């Protein structure tokens, strides 16, 4: 729990009520001697790259950088002038005037580079002038900029009206910075003997968050797993020395699309990811070793500046962290934390954060807020996954005194802590029952993006895969994440159902990977031998072949992009089915022949289909959105009647069920506000029960 100097009595009262065994400081708060000596262990928060303004002010060349693309300007004559930071939030960036050798000027109409001799940079106005431009073409400049305000600190200033010195950020790529940070951390450890756990607020490079200067479009680009903020002239030179080829600004700008997690990356950027990962984990190990030398543990926060550490990578395991902390809004984020390999303490930071406002500026701990209800709503999603995967600890963060005036919130957290301890104890007593059904998720990223699409649910709620993961996070299956490089007969032997979901060209659907004929033939053989391939939205989509979906012969459907306007269509006739997924139709989906069964249609378009293919099946869904009802339906699709009567499941979509056989305990968890009646199937018995709103019930069996 967070503590706060000046509110010692409140802190200790809540520590007792919530059963806290650890106290921590937070961004903007401090712990007094009374709190430090209260008998709880102490977490101390450090952000290793953003607490060094004095050093940075003396060495501004060591600030972190990013390639930006200027606004695109129309040439109305043969000379074009472009102001580089126009449209950007200028408190976040300043132009690196000494880096022009890494810049590129583009004719965006023809997608060609303008020769260096044809443009010049004016350092006084931070503008580029192009000579010999083609009239009525659009031009832009790719340039390096320093990031002069650390983004999380910037967000906290804006959201919570902080009035403090804006923090800058150091780039540890530079040997001088590394030496400074080693010395700084050594001194810090010596000056904080009371600290038991050093909580790294992530490591070195923040998730990409590029702000705009117009309030109508304040955030120009955001991605939790992009590597744009890791670049520097030194990084580019070191990369060239290691890989033997040179990256350009356009590799990062990528025609303006940049390189978000949702795009299937080119090999150059994949190389750069692993290059950065090795550096981040190597230097992080040096810092963790310092912490360990002082007898302290080191935990890392899996948010903010996490880019490069890649917790599913082999390099991450070499750092030596003792614990990992993940802030959670949703079920899949619990699984993301739990799945990080190694002998680590896995900890969740619950929401709402103890700030006056929460997501999107909505009130939380202020007039108009209802933090108790917020906490319950987040908790029921988190709890679904906790029943399936063990977590060691939970906690809160923020400014503790804000809970004054919200007694319902205080009581809610006490109840949540009680539920968590019960679930944790059950996991310690017994493994949780799983259905004998293994689900594979096929993406460009494979296990590197285990249980994630690179961000929080609320940031990309329309991604099919993030919705599927949210449903799967609370279902009783083993789930494995596979890349296209891993698609071989041997790797698929243990998979019963393989899901490929996403829009065409995305990293989730696969994009160019589907041009590899071996992928399609291997999967086709696997389905023919008994596998189930589930495709959602535009699975296996890539143009240039007889079908827009490479797996169309298995799925029994394809997606028309307009070229089949004059072709006849098979009539859509829905088979009688109890399946009822609340999903939208997708225009252009059509049946490839008369053998495909339509389980659900909408406006004469197939929405859910099933096709027998050899011993296996192909199943198509036009989209997928998480809801308790859709999760209920998804389970029936994935199990496909192969298992006979499913054990330890309920007849109520709002009530999750988990069985711990060694503990002889059945847990029923109600995810709705209203009391729910439910019938649970155990063996040949059907047991009725009632569960109060948001509550859990424990049945001994």
Structure tokens at 329: 């809004």
Q: Is the distance from CB of 117 to CB of 96 less than 8 angstroms?
A: no
CA–CA gap between residue 401 and residue 651 (Å, rounded): 43
Rounded to 5°, angle at Cα 300 from 19 and 45: 65
Q: How far is the first Cα of the chain from the last one, in angstroms, to the nearest whole number?
A: 35
- Taking every pair of C-alpha atoms in the chain, what is the biggest distance, in angstroms? 82
Helices (H) and strands (E) in the chain, counts: 16, 33
Burial class (CB in 10 A: 0-12, 13-18, 19+), 292: middle
CA–CA gap between residue 96 and residue 67 (Å, rounded): 10
Beta strands in 507-596 (DSSP E): 532-537, 557-559, 589-591
Tell me which residue has tokens 């996954």. 385
Secondary structure of 123-138 in HEC code, one letter for each residue = CCCCEEEEECCCCCCE
Instruction: Look at residue 208 and give its three-state secondary structure.
Output: strand
* Residue 142: HSE in the Cβ half-sphere, 13 Å Cα cutoff: 27
Nearest CA to 224 out of 205, 247, 243, 238 is that of 205
CA–CA gap between residue 604 and residue 349 (Å, rounded): 46
The H or E element containing residue 336 is: helix 331-338
**Candidates 126, 304, 601, 656; catalytic one:** 304
CA–CA gap between residue 420 and residue 325 (Å, rounded): 16
Structure tokens at 88: 């950007």
Rounded to 5°, angle at Cα 499 from 493 and 500: 120
Q: Is the distance from CB of 520 to CB of 542 less than 8 angstroms?
A: no
CA–CA gap between residue 265 and residue 692 (Å, rounded): 47
Structure tokens at 109: 């109409």
Q: Is the distance from CB of 587 to CB of 622 less than 8 angstroms?
A: no
Nearest CA to 482 out of 492, 472, 493, 471 is that of 492
Q: Is the distance from CB of 480 to CB of 515 less than 8 angstroms?
A: no
In the chain, what are the helix, strand and coil shares in percent, each to the nearest 5? 30, 25, 40
DSSP string across 115-179 = PGGGEEEETTTTEEEEESPPTT-EEEEEEEEEE-S-HHHHHHHHHHT--SPPP--B-TTSHHHHH
322 is known as an active-site residue: no
Q: Is the distance from CB of 532 to CB of 561 less than 8 angstroms?
A: no
* Residue 379: HSE in the Cβ half-sphere, 13 Å Cα cutoff: 29
Tell me which residue has tokens 């306007």. 565
Backbone angles phi, psi at 428, to 5 degrees: -70, -30
CA–CA gap between residue 656 and residue 649 (Å, rounded): 8
**What positions carry a catalytic annotation?**
304
């Amino acid at each position: 729990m967070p503590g706060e100097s000046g509110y010692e009595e409140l802190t200790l009262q809540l520590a007792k009520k919530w059963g806290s065994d650890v106290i921590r400081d937070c961004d903007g708060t401090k712990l007094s001697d009374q709190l430090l000596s209260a008998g709880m262990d102490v977490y101390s928060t450090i952000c290793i790259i953003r607490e060094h303004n004095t050093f940075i002010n003396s060495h501004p060349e060591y600030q972190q950088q990013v390639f930006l693309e200027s606004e695109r300007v129309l040439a109305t004559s043969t000379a074009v002038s472009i102001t580089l930071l126009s449209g950007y939030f200028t408190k976040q960036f300043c132009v690196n005037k000494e880096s022009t050798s890494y810049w590129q000027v583009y004719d965006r109409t023809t997608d060609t580079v303008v020769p260096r001799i044809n443009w010049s940079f004016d350092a006084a106005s931070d503008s580029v002038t192009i000579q010999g431009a083609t009239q009525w073409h659009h031009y832009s400049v790719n340039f390096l900029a320093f990031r002069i305000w650390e983004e999380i600190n910037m967000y906290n200033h804006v959201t919570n009206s902080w009035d403090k010195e804006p923090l800058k950020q150091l780039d540890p790529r530079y040997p001088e910075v590394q030496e400074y940070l080693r010395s700084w951390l050594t001194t810090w450890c010596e000056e904080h003997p009371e600290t038991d756990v050093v909580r790294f607020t992530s490591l070195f490079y923040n998730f990409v968050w590029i702000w705009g200067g117009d309030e109508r479009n304040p955030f120009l680009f955001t991605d939790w797993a992009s590597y744009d903020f890791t670049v520097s002239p030194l990084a580019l030179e070191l990369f060239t020395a290691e890989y033997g080829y040179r990256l350009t600004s356009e590799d990062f700008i990528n025609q303006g699309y940049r390189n978000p997690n949702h795009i299937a990356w080119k090999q150059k950027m994949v190389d750069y990811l692993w290059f950065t990962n090795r550096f981040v984990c190597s230097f992080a190990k040096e810092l963790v070793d310092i912490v360990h030398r002082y007898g302290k543990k080191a935990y890392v926060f899996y948010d903010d500046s996490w880019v490069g550490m890649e917790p599913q990578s082999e390099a991450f395991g070499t750092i030596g962290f003792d614990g990992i902390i993940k802030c959670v809004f949703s079920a899949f984020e619990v699984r993301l934390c739990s799945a990080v390999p190694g002998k680590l303490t896995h900890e969740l930071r619950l929401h709402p954060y103890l700030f006056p406002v929460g997501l999107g500026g909505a009130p939380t701990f202020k007039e108009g807020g209802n933090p108790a209800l917020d906490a319950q709503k987040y908790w029921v999603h988190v709890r679904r996954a906790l029943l399936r995967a063990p977590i060691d600890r939970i906690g809160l963060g923020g400014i503790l005194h804000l809970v004054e005036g919200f007694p319902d919130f205080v009581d809610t957290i006490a109840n949540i802590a009680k539920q968590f301890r019960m679930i944790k104890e059950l996991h310690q007593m017994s493994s949780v029952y799983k259905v004998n059904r293994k689900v594979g998720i096929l993406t460009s990223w494979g296990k590197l993006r285990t249980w994630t699409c690179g961000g929080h649910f609320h940031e990309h709620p329309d991604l099919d895969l993030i919705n599927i993961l949210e449903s799967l996070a609370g279902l009783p299956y083993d789930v494995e994440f596979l890349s296209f490089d891993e698609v071989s007969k041997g790797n698929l032997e243990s998979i019963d159902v393989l899901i490929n979901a996403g829009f065409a060209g995305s990293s989730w659907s696969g994009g160019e990977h589907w041009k590899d004929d071996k992928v399609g033939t291997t999967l086709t053989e696997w389905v023919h031998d008994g596998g189930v391939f589930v495709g959602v939205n535009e699975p296996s989509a890539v143009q240039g072949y007889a079908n827009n979906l490479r797996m169309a012969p298995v799925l029994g459907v394809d997606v028309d992009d307009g070229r089949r306007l004059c072709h006849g269509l098979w009539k859509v006739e829905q088979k009688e089915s109890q399946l009822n997924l609340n999903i939208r139709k997708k225009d252009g989906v059509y049946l490839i022949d008369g053998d495909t069964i339509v389980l659900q249609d909408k406006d004469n378009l197939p929405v859910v289909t099933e096709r027998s293919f050899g011993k296996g099946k192909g199943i198509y869904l036009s989209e997928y959105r998480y809801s308790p009802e859709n999760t209920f339906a998804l389970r029936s699709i994935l199990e496909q009647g192969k298992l006979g009567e499913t054990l330890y499941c309920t007849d109520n979509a709002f009530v999750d069920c988990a069985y711990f056989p060694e503990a002889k305990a059945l847990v029923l968890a109600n995810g709705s506000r209203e009391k729910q009646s439910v019938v649970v199937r155990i063996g040949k018995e059907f047991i009725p029960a009632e569960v109060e709103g948001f509550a859990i019930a424990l049945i001994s069996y």
